Amino acid sequence: MMVIKEIASYIPGKKESNYELAEKFNIDTLFIKNKLGVEFRSIKEKTETASDLCVKAFENLEGKIDIERNKIDCCIVITQNPDYNIPHTSAIVHSKLNLPTNCACFDISLGCSGYVYGLSVIISFMKENNFKHGLLFTADSYRDILDKNDKNTYLLFGDASTVNYISDEKDSSNYFIPIDFLFGTTGTDFNSLIAKEKLFMNGRKVFNFVLKEIPKDISILLERNNLKLENIDKFVFHQGSKYIIDSIKDKLALDSDKVVFDIYKYGNTVSSSIPIILENEIKKTENKNILISGFGVGLSKGTALLTRR
């Protein structure tokens, strides 16, 4: 059975404060804390690339669990800010980690829904090819594409990376396993979150997309798995901003204790936001069913149910 065996993340220690930008953007401390939910943004070094961020997450993974690099069958990187247009970043990660030549590598170009898609892709790919050990990376730094004068985006995004170690285990008890996925796209609004040179976001379009689509998808996913909202121990949404998480929570009348939000010290880390939260949540014994949902660039959405048997 394919399980999420371990998750590790890397959040750069260098931070920038949003409080120092409050006057420039005409916002107050309550807006920063209660609406954005981002007090500080994590900042990568200028020279650090997506592959560098992946390597740092992998080093943290090796600090948590023994990994036999020569047994890694596949390496997938989710990013829209790759090291180069050509080649794929996963090949560079492959080189930096000295992975074996029979290791399959490819990238997935998705934003905030990327982790949910990636989880489905790596598990299907591994099952289809009888793979035993796979690495799923997220590393999507927006640092170089942010406009310093854009209030809608500059205050939100932070840098980070994660790696999921997916493994085929004979005894899958105590590990989380994805049991169902639901995906979708509203391509007509593709230009609501777009980087031609710098990142542009139509916040209202994204907000409306999320509030119209995600609660509906959660209901569909739960119903077809004979589950109810109260059966879910934790809801881990893409950590876009505090306001968007609070709005979903409000619309679904979810218990605050079940909805995790924790990006105050590092910001919205795009496809890394869900696995950063999951890294801690999968260790908590009280969590049996976790619902994850990613949404954004595309406009794309992906929701999944994870369960511990």
List interacting residues with another protein (CB under 8 A).
Answer: 31, 35, 202-205, 207-208, 211-212, 243, 246-247, 250
Residue 50 CA to residue 161 CA, distance in Å, equals: 8
Min. distance of Cβ 234 from another protein in angstroms?
21
Residue 178 CA to residue 168 CA, distance in Å, equals: 13
Nearer to another protein, 59 or 255 (CB): 255
Q: Tell me phi and psi for residue 143, to 5 degrees.
A: -45, -45
Min. distance of Cβ 248 from another protein in angstroms?
11
Nearer to another protein, 86 or 253 (CB): 253
Q: Of 154, 137, 135, which Cα lies nearest the Cα of 145?
A: 154
Q: Report CA-CA distances (Å) from 217 to 123, 206, 213, 220, 297.
A: 21, 16, 6, 5, 17
Q: Of 60, 288, 65, which Cα lies nearest the Cα of 167?
A: 65
Nearer to another protein, 28 or 59 (CB): 28
Min. distance of Cβ 261 from another protein in angstroms?
14
Nearer to another protein, 250 or 262 (CB): 250
Min. distance of Cβ 175 from another protein in angstroms?
36
Nearer to another protein, 30 or 86 (CB): 30
Q: Tell me phi and psi for residue 174, to 5 degrees.
A: 75, 0
Min. distance of Cβ 244 from another protein in angstroms?
9
Residue 272 CA to residue 141 CA, distance in Å, equals: 10
